[in-house]
Structure 1
Amino acid sequence: MSRLGLSFIVLVAWTSAFASPPQHTEVESLASPPTPFAVLREHVVGDVHHYRFDIRVGSTPNAIVRVHRVVRERAPWRSRSPTHAIMLLHGDFANFVTNFVPTLGNPASSAPGLAPYLAARDIDVWGVDRRWTLPSANGDISDLGEMGVDQELGDIAVALAFARATRPGDDRASSRIVLGGFSHGGELAYAYVAAGGRHVSALAVLDAYYDIAPEHAELRELACANAAAGREALAQGVTDSDNSFFIELGTLARSAPQAPSPVFSGYTNRGALLAMNGLTYLLAPYTPLYHLSAPILDAGGNVTALRESAEDDVSAWFASAPPHQSLRETVELDEIWCGQTPRPELANIRVPLFYLGAAGAFGDYGLYSTTRVSSTDVTTHVVRRFGPERVAEDFGHGDLLYAADAPTLAWQPLAAWLLSH
């Protein structure tokens, strides 16, 4: 049976379950483990609630499409019916909750979250977790090696079909959904729409590139080298690009900030977290001065504090990372950037496109991809505080999600575009 067919069978289970909804107003889990369908509901803020649906799509340990919805309710288990909707894809070392509803993370963050912000403005927010986010630290990862881009694009299709079928209304054409993605989630969103984009009405990419401009050949060469090294590791049987590095940085910065860091010699745990966020390009030069969080730098170029995002929110982002991540996915996404293997072409994209960049991260480097699509409706917005001479201190990648001013500088332009599309 196809996964799309299964998604509509699951819809029947959803409809039956909600015909007589439970009277709980907090977390409600209807099945554990989720076979073939489970739903969880939890309060976020005001009348905004978070739903999570686990749809089993196969027999392997992690063959589950985990779909999220953040929406206003008119009564318990009775959502409102926003006209506009978006499906958000998370980035690395994260899942939908930790990227977009961080107050529900573990540890919880005080950052209000993009998804509740949009939901409060009557935008129906959906999301889907990649399968590598599901297993616990000691969980079964025997199917991790299967978790590549093709599987992920299939899971996105299932999630979109489920969301469209669940949303009210008889006009299925008008119920199509904007597909959005942050970081590598943005690269996957590009790939999905370029490969056909079923169920998608428009595309919103948050700080990512897909095609690398010819004048930035060094970035393409880096992607090719990373892809080759990853392929060699896969050939040796490695499947887990685990997130213990991020978890340890975040956890230690929270529990013992002034203790010596076991990760970065010569730093305290707090200093290690600051350096990783503010000087990310030293380990991951996706752009020449790429950083996760805008730093405040001293005269020697050391990070003394974070300029935009609270340290507690950033450490929670790191500490709440899923334990595992698919190496195969990492390799295949690098191969897309490398451009040396067959891949969906951006010229196939004809739906409206919104690009939201961070000046200190992918930023302007992501603009080239927007020129490669065939759409005649392209809007770009790069959040920046400073001129090019201070890009090392400017708005960072994660600041789009966690900065105090993200609602004004990043989320409001996105919301306005969504409400007009």
Structure 2
Amino acid sequence: MFGCSTDEEAFREIDIEQQQSISFDDLFDKLDRIPNMIVSNNESLKDALKDSRPGDLIILAPGIYDLPVSVGVNNLSLFGAGKIIIKNPKDSEGSIFSNSNVQNLNLHNVKLENYSDSPEIKQLQFDTRRNKRFISYTKEILAGDIAHYTFSVRLGNKDYDYVNIHRLIKESSNTLGEVFMVHGANQNFTDIFLRAGASIPSETTSLPIFLAKSDVDVWGIDMAWTRVPEKTTDLSFMKDWGIKRDVQHLNKAMKIARIISGITKQGFGKMNLMGFSYGSAVLYGAAGYETTINSARRNIKGVIPVDQPIKYSEEYAASRETSCVRGAEAANAIEDGTYFRALGLSPLAQLAINDPNGVSPAIPSFTNLQFILFVGANTYALGPSSTPTWHFVAGVYNGPIPVDLNFTEKERWLNLLADFDSGPYMPFQILVDMFECECGEKATFIDQNLEDINLPILNVSAHGGSGESTFLTPTLTSSSEIENLMIEFFPDNPELDFGHADLFMADNANSVFWDPLRIWIQSH
């Protein structure tokens, strides 16, 4: 049996022998745009039709929908992701249209029963030429039995209107929970989640593989700015690329993920959303935006912000003031015609690998290796940071300069920086949006609906990263279920404690963070 409803009286599953399951290629050949809503049971169908707008495209999960429905807008399209029957339970046939002025209901894989015929009910027409697709994909097998799909998705007609969607799944078993991940600044899904500096990703080095091995359906995104080629010289198109644009892309990517999950028999339901660092700002912006739209248009059922506040308590007033200054600096950079931030650490990390004892071109009093370890363990000493002791990875010291790393193998840290797979350009407008939100002197897209968010929250932090500064933000929502998970080994010495990137790279990350995360995901 196959279906996704809990309403057993009104929604009936279709026997697997009768199920005409739609394939990837059939789906991608026919869809010419990203659907507006996804329906998986009677209640969500009623909700979707009630909120539908002219021209909307609605995807329906396979099944028999026993209920009277009414279409009240023009040019509505219903696309069945398999065999769909919408059956009017009334004794006599009735019109599916709410009034005679409604025109053009377009159907694909959808059969209406006990509704009167109408010339306005038509079959969807498709342009099935492959070059018209808005999506393509590749597949590889990792760690023996984990399928890693990468979907390239075109979201518009302009240059660089593309994102990547990743999926990792153990295809030999049914999934138990799902999560959609948003990466941090100046990185992509592969950089920090999938490989995180490991030469060969495995369940001990890769969070997505660890979760997939435990039957979690893992999804993620590479934002459009990560796909801008390094050779690009004119970056003026990036001037207005901010958090709102990334939230819009995330919304579409999560819809695609839910559809693919559904047609591969893992359910069409909403997903847990995890955002790391900058990704937490995207997460709060997305969850806040969804409070302004109908439930049928939403994708998120729970949120997992990781090591990033978007609001500071009075205890962290200095951090808030720092954000005000950094926001103004980023805005000035845009005004002066610089539209992106590039870290430029990859060449320096390559030097640390190939010539560790050579003189660093960044700080001549350091060797190449010392400088890269200092960047990781003493990040707070190199410029303004979220907290006074904020660092990427915890160090081991013999004097003021780190000689090794405490929780993460130094080779992984070097490889992470040397092999960044993401594009080198992160829009300054994103930083303006983030810092203005943290500053708090004006309302932003990120926090304008913060107080209306009413979803379960697992707030994760590293004591040597953003730590307790993250505790305030979840309390500013309307959530009745907030859990804080702070990774801490040195309560009195945050400068030596678990760092921002240790969460994904440390030798013990799978026990102190990944497994508690798995438990939370599989219970929500």
**Residues 144 and 106 (structure 1), Cα distance of their counterparts in 2 relative to 1, 3 Å cut:** farther
The whole-number CA distance in structure 2 between the counterparts of 1:53 and 1:276 is: 33
The offset of 1:108, in angstroms, is 6.2
* Aligned twin of 1:266: 365
The answer on 1:53 being equivalent to 2:156 is no
* Aligned twin of 2:506: 403
One-letter amino acid matched to 1:330: L
The answer on 1:149 being equivalent to 2:243 is yes
* Aligned twin of 2:435: 334
The offset of 1:167, in angstroms, is 1.2
The offset of 1:109, in angstroms, is 6.6
Secondary structure at the counterpart of residue 397 of structure 1: coil
The offset of 1:142, in angstroms, is 4.8
The offset of 1:371, in angstroms, is 1.7
The whole-number CA distance in structure 1 between the counterparts of 2:318 and 2:388 is: 10
Are the counterparts in 1 of residues 323 and 435 from structure 2 also a CA contact under 8 Å? yes
Secondary structure at the counterpart of residue 202 of structure 1: strand
**Residues 174 and 66 (structure 1), Cα distance of their counterparts in 2 relative to 1, 3 Å cut:** closer
The whole-number CA distance in structure 1 between the counterparts of 2:32 and 2:494 is: 48
Which structure's CA Rg is the greater one?
2
**Residues 255 and 150 (structure 1), Cα distance of their counterparts in 2 relative to 1, 3 Å cut:** same
Secondary structure at the counterpart of residue 181 of structure 2: strand
Are the counterparts in 2 of residues 72 and 120 from structure 1 also a CA contact under 8 Å? yes
Name structure 2 gaps, 5 residues minimum. 1-30, 39-56, 61-80, 83-129, 292-297
* Aligned twin of 2:135: 37
The whole-number CA distance in structure 2 between the counterparts of 1:278 and 1:34 is: 48
Deviations 1:4-35 (A, max 9, x none): 438999x99xx89xxxxxxxxxxxxxxx9996
The whole-number CA distance in structure 2 between the counterparts of 1:181 and 1:93 is: 14
Name structure 1 gaps, 5 residues minimum. 17-31, 75-79
Secondary structure at the counterpart of residue 150 of structure 2: strand
The whole-number CA distance in structure 2 between the counterparts of 1:144 and 1:308 is: 37
The one of 409, 421, 425 equivalent to 1:310 is: 409
The offset of 1:248, in angstroms, is 2.3
* Aligned twin of 2:348: 249
How many percent identity over aligned positions?
A: 25
One-letter amino acid matched to 2:402: V
The answer on 1:121 being equivalent to 2:225 is no
Are the counterparts in 1 of residues 322 and 384 from structure 2 also a CA contact under 8 Å? no
Deviations 1:91-129 (A, max 9, x none): 1121001111107x7976787211111111111010111
One-letter amino acid matched to 1:291: H
* Aligned twin of 2:168: 70
Secondary structure at the counterpart of residue 305 of structure 1: strand
Aligned CA-pair RMSD: 3.0
The whole-number CA distance in structure 2 between the counterparts of 1:66 and 1:386 is: 38
Are the counterparts in 1 of residues 32 and 134 from structure 2 also a CA contact under 8 Å? no
**Which structure has greater helix proportion?**
1
The whole-number CA distance in structure 1 between the counterparts of 2:323 and 2:392 is: 18
The offset of 1:265, in angstroms, is 2.1
Are the counterparts in 2 of residues 34 and 56 from structure 1 also a CA contact under 8 Å? no
Are the counterparts in 2 of residues 241 and 324 from structure 1 also a CA contact under 8 Å? yes
The whole-number CA distance in structure 2 between the counterparts of 1:196 and 1:36 is: 25
The whole-number CA distance in structure 2 between the counterparts of 1:54 and 1:125 is: 17
The one of 187, 194, 198 equivalent to 2:288 is: 194
Are the counterparts in 2 of residues 109 and 312 from structure 1 also a CA contact under 8 Å? no
The whole-number CA distance in structure 1 between the counterparts of 2:449 and 2:397 is: 40
The answer on 1:219 being equivalent to 2:249 is no
The one of 469, 487, 496 equivalent to 1:393 is: 496
**Residues 172 and 73 (structure 1), Cα distance of their counterparts in 2 relative to 1, 3 Å cut:** closer
Q: How many residues align?
A: 397
The whole-number CA distance in structure 1 between the counterparts of 2:371 and 2:281 is: 28
**Residues 137 and 178 (structure 1), Cα distance of their counterparts in 2 relative to 1, 3 Å cut:** same
**Residues 211 and 171 (structure 1), Cα distance of their counterparts in 2 relative to 1, 3 Å cut:** farther
The whole-number CA distance in structure 1 between the counterparts of 2:443 and 2:200 is: 41
Are the counterparts in 2 of residues 107 and 320 from structure 1 also a CA contact under 8 Å? no
Secondary structure at the counterpart of residue 170 of structure 2: strand
The whole-number CA distance in structure 1 between the counterparts of 2:260 and 2:425 is: 30
**Residues 107 and 341 (structure 1), Cα distance of their counterparts in 2 relative to 1, 3 Å cut:** farther
The whole-number CA distance in structure 1 between the counterparts of 2:167 and 2:352 is: 31
Secondary structure at the counterpart of residue 146 of structure 1: coil
The offset of 1:391, in angstroms, is 1.1
The one of 193, 196, 217 equivalent to 1:100 is: 193
One-letter amino acid matched to 1:324: Y
* Aligned twin of 1:285: 385
* Aligned twin of 2:337: 237
* Aligned twin of 1:166: 260
**Residues 409 and 395 (structure 1), Cα distance of their counterparts in 2 relative to 1, 3 Å cut:** same
Deviations 1:287-327 (A, max 9, x none): 010010001123x3321211011111111221233322111
Are the counterparts in 2 of residues 177 and 202 from structure 1 also a CA contact under 8 Å? yes
The whole-number CA distance in structure 2 between the counterparts of 1:340 and 1:109 is: 43
**Residues 136 and 220 (structure 1), Cα distance of their counterparts in 2 relative to 1, 3 Å cut:** same
* Higher relative contact order structure (alpha carbons within 8 Å, sequence separation ≥ 6): 1
Output the TM-score relative to the length of structure 1: 0.87
User: More displaced, 391-400 or 248-257?
Assistant: 248-257
